[in-house]
Amino acid sequence: MVTAGVAAANGSGGADTTAAFKEIYSKLKVEMLEDPAFEFTDESLQWIDRMVDYNVLGGKCNRGISVIDSYKILKGVDVLSKEETFLACTLGWCIEWLQAYFLVLDDIMDSSQTRRGQPCWFRVPQVGLIAVNDGIILRNHISRILQRHFKGKPYYVDLIDLFNEVEFKTASGQLLDLITTHEGEKDLSKYNLTIHRRIVQYKTAYYSFYLPVACALLLAGENLDNFVDVKTILVEMGTYFQVQDDYLDCFGDPEFIGKIGTDIEDYKCSWLVVQALDRADEDQKRILFENYGKSDPACVAKVKDLYKELNLEEVFHEYERESYTKLIADIEAQPNKAVQTVLKSFLHKIYKRDK
């Protein structure tokens, strides 16, 4: 259940950045198809070509593009050299490849039907559980790309460590999510703010918010050990983003956000349900226990009515105000002005968003 919706938050990258970014994808894909480490057959080449296009493309690419945007800010330039652009775009694509790997496996675990407006990869005829191996191949492509373009750079090992650490955190967050929201044993008493926060931080915030900025910092020659506070701020921002997502799932306008929210029906460990559990009296808790996780529209309506009764819209707006105030204060406490600018650019893209 990795959240694709986070894409809206990151990079805006003007048309030129986006065009440069898209161009480099083709070069990286060709390299993967010509990798001398394996003797490809025509059939396997066609498979990988189609599989990579199907899964890596199709998103908004905002995680990837925000590597370039952040790198420009850190360097204090509007235009990067050809080599700098190539390296920043390549790291951006590594993040998009990582996202593709997570989503391919994620959709199998969730028995999902569609992703980005098309059938999930494993639902495509003739694919099925070959998609598991495809996910593994996508993950290995990242290592191949990093080795080809960054081996010999002073920060190569740091990049490898960064991707490994973020992958481990994300997979562990996914595990926590899966065992907490286990289909077979629906138990709302497992849901609380601590669990919600931990799932969100590990499953979404590290790879969606911290990873693009960490890549840009390494490109700029910085040591990540000097930016622990920046990591904390970005993870906090990712948490705030997911709380917004949970709120919009229930209270957003489906016409505007482009999807109909199903967190209640899907028994998600949503910020709204943990807030409701925290505030409800025994009668209200009984309504939640009896109706949460059911697809019957009458049950969903009862849960939404309870959310309104508990004034969760106002609770959210208060949370939003407090989060923003704290994030701005933490950002302005950063000694590096360029880093402040990067962090503020992320925050202003997501603050008070409505889709």
The string of pLDDT tens digits covering residues 73-89 is 999 999 999 999 999 99
Question: Per residue in 44-72, is it b (16+ CB within 10 Å) or e — as a string?
Answer: eeebbeebbebbbebbbbbbbbbbbbbbb
From the list 271, 250, 253, 269, the residue with the least C-alpha distance to 261 is 250
pLDDT of residue 144: 98
271-328 per-position pLDDT tens digit: 999 999 999 999 999 999 999 999 899 999 999 999 999 999 999 999 999 999 999 9
Distance CA 31, CA 137 (A): 14
Residue 210 and residue 241 in contact, taking contact as beta carbons nearer than 8 Å? no
Distance CA 122, CA 13 (A): 32
Strand partners, 115: 118
pLDDT of residue 14: 64
Read off the tokens for 78. 């509007």
Helix 62-75 / helix 211-219 crossing angle, nearest 10 deg = 40
Residue 222 and residue 21 in contact, taking contact as beta carbons nearer than 8 Å? no
pLDDT of residue 62: 87
Largest CA distance in the chain: 65
Residue tagged 């992958």 (tokens): 167
Residue 181 is classified by DSSP as S
Can you give the pTM of this predicted structure? 0.91
Domains of the chain and any CATH numbers: 18-152 (1.10.600.10), 154-354 (1.10.600.10)
Handedness of CA 147, 9, 207, 49 (dihedral sign): negative
Helix 82-109 / helix 15-33 crossing angle, nearest 10 deg = 70
pLDDT of residue 4: 40
pLDDT of residue 248: 93
pLDDT of residue 232: 97
Residues of the chain with pLDDT under 50: 1-13
